[in-house]
Structure 1
Amino acid sequence: MRSAVLWLLSLYSCLSHGYRIETIQRCGSHCNQGLRCKTKSDLYFPQCKKPPKGLQDNVSLDMSVSTVMKCEGPQQCSLFLQVRSTLLMNEHVKGVSICTVAAGMMERCRTHAFPKAVQKHLSTQQVQVQDNCFEVAVGQNVHVTLKTSPDFCHLSVSKTYNVPGCNHADLQNNIPECIVGKITYQLDTERRALSVSVTNMLENTDYNLRLCHKGYFCRGTGTYVLLKKEDPIKNVTLQYARPLPCLCIEGWSSVFDAPRVQVCPFKNNMEELWSGVAFDSVEQMLSWEPACQTDVDVTLCQRNGEVCENLPKATQSVSKTKVLFSTVDPHPQLCMKFTTKTATWIKCPFAGSGFTAWDIGVAMENGKTQLVVTSKIRPTLLISFCHMTGPSACEENKDAITLNVEKYQSVVPNLTFSMCGQNCCIQVKRVDVKYAATILHCDFKSLAPTGEAPAFAPTSSHWETVWIVAPAVGLLTALLVVLFVVGIALTTIILYLRLCGGTLCSNVGAGQLNAAQCSASVYSSVLDRAINNSTYGMVL
């Protein structure tokens, strides 16, 4: 029976945390049976006394604890413990004491004494005492003890009670230290802007807003606004750079140790996290750095259709550190797989980029089909024929060869198709790097049409030819320009002599040159000017 009562009292305490918190006008104590109990407060309680013989069998104690709220006005409420105790009376018991203690606080006791005139009449009867004058803090852990008065040893009941925290709805609207304000927003993806509004904030207090990246703590991005208490409209616009799932709007009142509220508009946008894959072509290093603190397994895998098979020993588990894979072959089939507790994402950084570091094809020469390897880098390839044993399984032959390919070169490996039988494929893998995909070519016709050579990358001889021809073309063009300028100058001289020579000479005085000498003089002068002009044009 007693255990059932305790269970019901515990259930009541739990329900009081999850639902409405009772509001009281003032704190006080109350005893049933029409008793007028006398209550006094003590900070120190003496040591317990040895109980009379048989008292433990005749006295029982029980209690329940809940939270109540007393308000002086809007947003001006405080919390108190309400203790309901039940005592089966005995002539040796004169009352009950309720004591509370919390971390960093002294023990506080309130003793409720029954009138002496009725103590004998209450023997063997149940007396209930209620006290709600124990002020507590939000989220506090309080140890509550119910004792007899006088305090008889081994006649007490204790329990630990957790005061509701600021996540309780009633506290969020009434307790000052729990009022964080309500944040709503509208998203403008084109402008990368958040239009933020704040309501239900603490009255007569400024309010802080910022954008932050949520992790163990919320790290600010640099976007911050202070809403003044005098401003009637609490609306602001906050700009953001990337729609990350950890990007949150954080708000708090401008009071000491104020609680904060966070609203994360992009919390489900996990896809944005995997966009930061980078490749260093010089170091051949593939890297990814999480923009948000995320527990994720990062694995290199080879994509074949819808399936991406993990490469051996190519998994790193991280939370906020940078992932580095050294010496990676940048092949379109090489991908990066991100696995969290809820889902998996695959990103293939080399697919669709239009860049192929190396490739393999076939060509017809003298009526024979030959393999041809082209490359824009200097890889070391392991090439062999293999026979398909399953959808993606290929049994490698023992006649594999290692091939070193120079940059911008085409190489014909020492393999002939006569070595290849039914269900035969070409298997190629880079062996000069730590992480590489194993490439299978089973449809030789798809590598190059019959009788045609594959389109190779430019060779070194091609670039040498370009360096010789280009300067020659430039010199020839300059020579043609010079001849054109000289031709124009000579034509100008002839026209000038024919049209203007006679006029110039007729104006010369009689005592000077004759007509022939004048014409020769004009011709010489004009020729000198033309040559000078043409020479100046050549210099420019």
Structure 2
Amino acid sequence: MVRLCHQLALECEELPRPFHRQVLVPGGHRVSLPYEFLVPCLCVEASYPHHDSPRRKHCPFRDQPATYGTELWSSVRFHDYSTSSKDQMAMVLSASCPLHPWATLCWREAADKTAPCHDIPNSTASEEEQAYTLDKVDVHPQLCFRFSYGNSSHVECPHHQETAWNVSMSTWGLQLRLRLTSSIPAAFSATLCQRRGGQCEPEAPLYTVTQVSGAGLGGHMGRGDRATLTCPCALQPEGSAPGELALLLPVQVLGSCVLVWRSDVRFARKQLLCPDSEWRSR
């Protein structure tokens, strides 16, 4: 009797349906056995058909670099439990092989899965029984986990496309006005930046707005809601709503853009807004 199985810590587990098959092979004959993914723990197990026959096992793919690539990650199911209300990235892995990859954060340039994902330093997630968590994160569909194992890696982003906060910008004469809305209590920072060689270099001063409750910033503030604004007083025009961050641009910096990010977390995306182009994220 011959079958394929996945070698776990103590046993060789049968393949899931419809690939769990045990075939009686006459001596000197060959047999073809189907499998779903070519993974390192895929083994061949053989035994005689009588009861309690000893089993012999061969795992030919364990040391093959090719089995640590695309098919390995395709065999993994990623369960996303990331929540903006907890400022936490959390994913649980279900895999055919007993994998324990390490996970770090990266920022994907665009929503496209083929877009580059830039590594974020010092962002290793903690792992316990294939559950990966990282706290103090501004959860966003493009702020992702990069899982690395063997000679390959895989990027998995939060499955929910909703974001906890948004920012819009309007131009009034020589004034740029930012309006922040957030569904969670948060603090935000903004600064002018100058575009140089594909980068936008931040410039002082730094402006900060803090929302204590979960109502929208710059909108109607209900009972118990509170927002504070930290910036030079001249830069908050008369009539601005509480929590609305407005920047007045001098004539010499009309070519400036604005960087906006959450400042009450450790890992946050930075949104780049430019008055002469569509806004984008860094």
TM-score, scaled to structure 2? 0.63
Residue in 1 that maps onto 2:3 = 209
Pick the structure with more strand per residue.
2
- Note closer, same or farther for the CA distance 1:435–1:308 as it changes in structure 2 (3 Å cut): same
Is the 8 Å Cα contact of residues 227 and 234 (structure 1) preserved in structure 2? no
Residue in 1 that maps onto 2:183 = 376
- Note closer, same or farther for the CA distance 1:228–1:387 as it changes in structure 2 (3 Å cut): closer
**Secondary structure of the corresponding residue to residue 245 of structure 1:** coil
Residue in 1 that maps onto 2:264 = 432
Q: 1:375-428 CA distances to partner (integer Å, 9 max, x unpaired)?
A: 233332122223334423522422321332753524253332425815422112
Pick the structure with more helix per residue.
1
Residue 222 of structure 2 is aligned to residue 415 of structure 1: no
Greater C-alpha radius of gyration:
1
Aligned partners of 2:200 and 2:175: how far apart in 1?
28
Q: Which runs of 5+ in 2 are unaligned?
A: 219-242
Residue in 2 that maps onto 1:345 = 154
Is the 8 Å Cα contact of residues 168 and 178 (structure 2) preserved in structure 1? yes
What are the residue-to-residue correspondences of 1:330-479 with 2, within 5 Å?
Answer: 330-349=139-158, 353-363=160-170, 369-404=176-211, 406-407=213-214, 409-411=216-218, 413-418=244-249, 421-443=253-275, 445-447=277-279
Aligned partners of 1:229 and 1:273: how far apart in 2?
28
Is the 8 Å Cα contact of residues 380 and 404 (structure 1) preserved in structure 2? yes
Residues matched between the structures, number: 233
Residue 92 of structure 2 is aligned to residue 298 of structure 1: no
Displacement, 1:252?
Answer: 1.7
Aligned partners of 2:125 and 2:9: how far apart in 1?
21
Is the 8 Å Cα contact of residues 3 and 33 (structure 2) preserved in structure 1? no
- Note closer, same or farther for the CA distance 1:375–1:414 as it changes in structure 2 (3 Å cut): closer
Is the 8 Å Cα contact of residues 387 and 396 (structure 1) preserved in structure 2? yes
Give the partner amino acid of 1:248: L
Residue in 2 that maps onto 1:314 = 123
**Secondary structure of the corresponding residue to residue 98 of structure 2:** coil
Give the partner amino acid of 1:370: R
Give the partner amino acid of 1:416: L
- Percent identity over the alignment is 18
- Note closer, same or farther for the CA distance 1:322–1:368 as it changes in structure 2 (3 Å cut): closer
Displacement, 1:222?
Answer: 7.1
Displacement, 1:314?
Answer: 0.3
Give the partner amino acid of 2:278: S
Aligned partners of 1:344 and 1:229: how far apart in 2?
38
Tell me: higher relative CO, structure 1 or 2? Use CA pairs within 8 A at least 6 residues apart.
Answer: 2
Residue in 1 that maps onto 2:237 = none
Q: Which runs of 5+ in 1 are unaligned?
A: 1-206, 448-540
Residue in 1 that maps onto 2:44 = 250
Give the partner amino acid of 1:250: V
Displacement, 1:276?
Answer: 0.7
Aligned partners of 1:414 and 1:229: how far apart in 2?
75
What are the residue-to-residue correspondences of 1:64-75 with 2, within 5 Å?
Answer: none
- Note closer, same or farther for the CA distance 1:393–1:346 as it changes in structure 2 (3 Å cut): farther
